[in-house]
Amino acid sequence: MTGWARQLFPGRPRATAEQARDLQQQGAILLDVREDAEWQAGHAPKARHGREVVNLSGGMRAWARAGLPVVAAGGHPGRVA
């Protein structure tokens, strides 16, 4: 979660519909992970349909501990913050 999102949503990241719309207008991606039939019946404009979503156990710290690459903006070597 980016710094501005942390400020808006301390703790668990949650948003009202209006906040989600505002975040989307600022460049955030709205990922709709509902079933295909639900998506086809109706979804938010410009939302993306995340059919196969998994949560990375241990997050980026686990990724880095496994020796996998971490990159920063522009593709430069990064770090887990």
Gap between the Cα atoms of 30 and 27, Å rounded: 9
Q: What is the pLDDT of residues 13-55, one digit of tens each?
A: 788 899 999 999 999 888 888 888 999 999 999 999 986 777 8
Please check whether residue 51 is in contact with residue 34, taking contact to mean a CB–CB distance below 8 angstroms: no
Q: Where are the alpha helices (DSSP H) in the chain?
A: 3-8, 17-25, 36-41, 59-65
Residue 70 pLDDT > 90 = yes
Residue 9 pLDDT > 60 = no
Q: Note if the pTM is more than 0.75.
A: no
